Amino acid sequence: MRNINLSVVFLFFMGLSCLQAQEKIPQVEELLAKMTLEEKIGQLNLLTPGGGVATGSVVSEDVEAKIKAGDVGGVFGVSSPEKVRQAQELAVKNSRLGIPLLIGSDVIHGYRTTFPIPLGTSASWDLELIKKSAQIAAKEATADGINWNFSPMVDISRDPRWGRFAEGAGEDPFLGSAIAKAMVEGYQGEDLTQPHTMMATVKHMALYGAPEAGRDYNHVDMSRLKMFNEYLPPYKAAVDAGVGSVMTSFNDVDGVPASGNKWLLTDLLRERWGFGGFVVSDYTSVNEMIKHGMGDLQDVSALAINAGLDMDMVGEGFLTTLKKSVEEGKVSEEQITKAARRILEAKYKLGLLEDPYRYSDEKRPSKDILTKEHRAFARKLATRSFVLLKKHNSILPLDKTSKIALIGPLANNQTNMLGTWAPTGDYKLSIPVLEGFKNVAPDAKITYAKGANISDDTIFAKKVNVFGSRIEISKESSEELLQDALKVAKAADVIVAVVGEASEMSGEAASRTDIRIPESQKKLIRELVATKKPVVLVLMSGRPLNISEEMELPVSILQVWHPGIEAGNAIADVIFGEHNPSGKLTATWPRNVGQIPIYYSARNTGRPAPEDHFDKFKSHYLDSPNTPLFPFGYGLSYTDFEYSDVKADKESFKPGEEITFTATITNTGNFDGSEVVQLYIHDKVRSITPPKKQLAGFKKIALKKGESKQVSFTLTADDLKFYNGQLEYVYEPGEFEFFIGGSSDNKMTGSFKLTE
Ligand code: BGC
């Protein structure tokens, strides 16, 4: 064990106390001074008049009357400048104090111009593109009246059974933090009063991505060490980037549901991290604490406000019980004033107190929404998100004059292109793969057949189809679909099969215990392979899948997630070589569900299994290797990259100094391409068991064929920090190892020391 550097700890806490000091805003204080207790409570109430997807059991009633009565602080599910103006007028002209509303929305991966699902965009590892996607989303959403967004979702997940894997940036806290920052900066810009920016909400605080058994909304039980080192960093990164609001999660943390957890919302978020914005509950998550076993509506509402929750989404527990709790001495008026102040400060920061109609410009939608540039960007971003999982016989990219059988239930489909949680998008505007192929390769001879249903299981399909028909079960029998496809396949030179998950097979409340491609499509794939024609699988999914069986087949595999509005064009761009795929996985893909949770940064056991032989009393399975199907950071290219000359510029360095790692990367194949160069480190000895490796830097570079580039990463002692057993953020001097490579699956190649 090594000594903790105390001066670093001291500076860290000093920094925090400076962050916490916040000045009061005179305009807000004047308003507060005029407000009755009821009016303050009204500001804490967030309603939805419907129109969106109601994910909870309650939809708000009498919203108009409540706004006029001053009982509403914000609404969501209302859009268009006209409707937002009407809503603001209800508040401004009819309520006693005329306080404007926050207008919220779930703008998760683009507004009307839908981008790939967030798990997909994360696979681009391109922070500039990700930030720009958030800027475009903000421009479109604000043109439609939205000023407050319920994104980014930054929940780390290592359990692909969990459907909301699709909405986050994968398994890694370092990459997840970088993406959280880029998203917040993209949405909020430099100045929230600018009409093209909107307030962001980091969600779901906290640990929502680690539910027991991968089942959505389930309990979470996690050590503080794991929380601090592996799950909390992206939320903190968003807070450090100045995120305006934080949304709580449905799960409990240390036995107390997040929406009523004082340690989480006050001690950690406000006091330790210095968060100065407001905290909103998730959809009826305050009420849901009744079922969690925390008391009746009055109890749970009091618990929430006392814990530091400021705004109650839809459930109206605050509205209906807080006054009584104040009268009974269960909640102080001061606590309610604090929460109301935070909501009013948000309105001030958005410029709403100055001009309530700032986001109600009727001229903007036609100018700012779904522009040609936005669609072109969506296409580009989608191509950057695709991950080439397997190359077989150099069949890709396809020649633009090929005779192609385009087969599969997702090959000529619109309803599944946008992916989960795209309520502001319109699938009818999306480009199916067949159309994209024709656009990009007009001289190719393309024939199409559906080949199979996404799933033949009607009960499963019914559950997936709750919000629209994602799994369409054809009138033809499965055998007829198959025979039709085989006829088409046999007449072609190459088969492209577009298969995988319907969009709503992932997302909220869409957990699966079997993460394979459904059997109907697996059978189709096997039969297509049996034709002996070259087969390319274009795979769509909202999570890492178990494709162990498909990996054994002689096929090439391109993972395209759910690519968004430009799906077909983007897929065609990559299949026909307009763009060489450069995405890398941001989460480990397991060989089977039994390996879950599986992630690259796991700690060593005291009995690590040897790689090359079976040794009885070691940490392994009897029926599966420990290794994943694909490691974190993995992704191929049409070309090949070679790493050489990997080194550090010194053998040891001290706090206050820098150390630089370099590698030369050469494009040795036949195509120009881009590579995500990754630096990993390993702390060899420390006071708590270290991860086997941890991402410490990444850079995406473009290389022409034959070209070499040197890439370097510079770290300081601060980059080697972690939370120790006392939850202090420290580095510990000692020996470290490192490597630079194209995925996490590499051996350490060098070492260095951090000295006192
Ligand atoms: C989801 C949130 C979302 C909210 C409002 C909830 O069910 O968990 O992520 O922001 O609904 O739509």
Q: Would the pLDDT of 16 be above 70?
A: no
Ligand 1, closest atom to CA 77? 12
How many Cα atoms within 13 Å fall on the side-chain side of residue 704? 1
What are the catalytic residues?
282
Q: Would the pLDDT of 9 be above 60?
A: no
Task: Over range 282-288, report the average pLDDT.
Answer: 98
Residues 496, 489 contacting (CB under 8 angstroms): no
Output b/e per residue, 719-736; b: 16+ Cβ within 10 A. bbbbbbeeebbbbbbbeb
Among 79, 107, 148, 150, the mutation site with the greatest number of ligand 1 atoms within 8 A of its Cβ is 150
Residues 508, 444 contacting (CB under 8 angstroms): no
Q: Residue 523's pLDDT is what?
A: 98
- Distance (Å) from CA 281 to ligand 1 centroid: 9
DSSP 123: T
Q: Would the pLDDT of 10 be above 60?
A: no
For ligand 1, atom 10, which residue shows the shortest CA distance?
150
Kindly indicate the confidence band of residue 60, based on its pLDDT and cuts at 50, 70 and 90: confident
Rounded Cα gap, residues 154 and 168, in angstroms: 5
Q: Residue 305's pLDDT is what?
A: 98
Q: Fill in the amino acid letter for 20.
A: Q
Output b/e per residue, 290-322; b: 16+ Cβ within 10 A. bebebeebbbbbbbbbbbbbbbbbbbbbbbbbb
489: closest CA among 442, 540, 452, 439?
Answer: 452
Q: Would the pLDDT of 138 be above 50?
A: yes
Among 167, 467, 508, the mutation site with the greatest number of ligand 1 atoms within 8 A of its Cβ is 508
Three-class DSSP category at 491: coil
Rounded Cα gap, residues 430 and 419, in angstroms: 11
Residue with tokens 């009061």: 24
- Distance (Å) from CA 220 to ligand 1 centroid: 18
Three-class DSSP category at 117: coil
- Distance (Å) from CA 148 to ligand 1 centroid: 13
Tell me which H or E stretch contains 137.
helix 127-143
364: closest CA among 547, 678, 144, 84?
Answer: 144
Residue 551 region by backbone torsions, left for phi larger than 0, else alpha for psi between -120 and 50, else beta: alpha
Ligand 1, pocket residues at CB < 6 Å: 55, 106, 150, 203, 282-283, 508
For ligand 1, atom 12, which residue shows the shortest CA distance?
106
Q: Fill in the amino acid letter for 385.
A: S
Structure tokens at 183: 């998203």
Q: Work out the number of other CB atoms within 10 angstroms of the CB of residue 218.
A: 15
Q: Residue 55's pLDDT is what?
A: 52
DSSP string, 332-400: -HHHHHHHHHHHHHHHHHTTTTT-TTTT--TTHHHHHSS-HHHHHHHHHHHHHH-EEEE--TT-PSPPT
Q: pLDDT per residue over 664-676, tens digit each?
A: 999 999 999 999 9
DSSP 311: B
Rounded Cα gap, residues 516 and 550, in angstroms: 10
231: closest CA among 270, 271, 268?
Answer: 268
Residue 424 region by backbone torsions, left for phi larger than 0, else alpha for psi between -120 and 50, else beta: alpha
388: closest CA among 743, 77, 692?
Answer: 743
Q: pLDDT per residue over 711-753, tens digit each?
A: 999 999 999 999 999 999 999 999 999 999 999 999 999 999 9
Q: Fill in the amino acid letter for 745.
A: D
Q: Would the pLDDT of 1 be above 60?
A: no
503: closest CA among 580, 430, 420, 593?
Answer: 420
Q: Residue 469's pLDDT is what?
A: 86
Ligand 1, closest atom to CA 150? 10
Task: Over range 423-438, report the average pLDDT.
Answer: 97
How many Cα atoms within 13 Å fall on the side-chain side of residue 730? 20
Residues 164, 211 contacting (CB under 8 angstroms): no
Structure tokens at 289: 């604490």
Task: Over range 379-402, report the average pLDDT.
Answer: 98
Q: Residue 17's pLDDT is what?
A: 38
Q: pLDDT per residue over 66-75, tens digit each?
A: 999 999 999 9
Kindly indicate the confidence band of residue 21, based on its pLDDT and cuts at 50, 70 and 90: very low
Tell me which H or E stretch contains 404.
strand 403-407
DSSP 603: B
Residues 109, 621 contacting (CB under 8 angstroms): no
- Distance (Å) from CA 177 to ligand 1 centroid: 21
Task: Over range 370-385, report the average pLDDT.
Answer: 98
For ligand 1, atom 11, which residue shows the shortest CA distance?
283
Q: pLDDT per residue over 322-346, tens digit each?
A: 999 999 999 999 999 999 999 999 9
Rounded Cα gap, residues 153 and 260, in angstroms: 20
- Distance (Å) from CA 352 to ligand 1 centroid: 24
Ligand 1, closest atom to CA 151? 10
Output b/e per residue, 596-608; b: 16+ Cβ within 10 A. bebbbbeeeeeee
Ligand 1, closest atom to CA 249? 8
Q: pLDDT per residue over 232-253, tens digit each?
A: 999 999 999 999 999 999 999 9
Q: pLDDT per residue over 551-603, tens digit each?
A: 999 999 999 999 999 999 999 999 999 999 999 999 999 999 999 999 999 99
Three-class DSSP category at 227: helix
For ligand 1, atom 5, which residue shows the shortest CA distance?
283
Q: pLDDT per residue over 445-474, tens digit each?
A: 999 999 999 999 999 999 999 988 899 999
- Distance (Å) from CA 238 to ligand 1 centroid: 18
Among 55, 109, 151, 165, the mutation site with the greatest number of ligand 1 atoms within 8 A of its Cβ is 55
To the nearest 10 degrees (0 to 180), the angle between helices 478-490 and 519-530 is 30
54: closest CA among 77, 74, 71?
Answer: 77
Q: Residue 19's pLDDT is what?
A: 37
Kindly indicate the confidence band of residue 525, based on its pLDDT and cuts at 50, 70 and 90: very high
Q: Would the pLDDT of 14 be above 90?
A: no
Pairing of strands 494-500, 403-407: parallel
Mean pLDDT score across all residues of the chain: 95
Contacts of 257 (CB under 8 A, 6+ apart): 250, 251, 285, 288, 289, 292, 294
Q: Residue 56's pLDDT is what?
A: 52
Q: Would the pLDDT of 7 be above 80?
A: no
Rounded Cα gap, residues 545 and 501, in angstroms: 9
- Residue spans of alpha helices (H) in 296-332: 297-307, 317-327
Task: Over range 404-425, report the average pLDDT.
Answer: 97
Kindly indicate the confidence band of residue 188, based on its pLDDT and cuts at 50, 70 and 90: very high
Among 281, 283, 288, 511, the mutation site with the greatest number of ligand 1 atoms within 8 A of its Cβ is 283
Question: For the chain, what percent of residues have pLDDT higher than 90?
Answer: 94
For ligand 1, atom 6, which residue shows the shortest CA distance?
283
Q: Work out the number of other CB atoms within 10 angstroms of the CB of residue 530.
A: 12
* 145 to 278, 368, 565: CA distances (angstroms): 21, 12, 22
Q: Residue 167's pLDDT is what?
A: 98
Which domains does the chain show, CATH number per domain? 7-15+22-365 (3.20.20.300), 371-588 (3.40.50.1700), 641-754 (2.60.40.10)
- Distance (Å) from CA 349 to ligand 1 centroid: 23
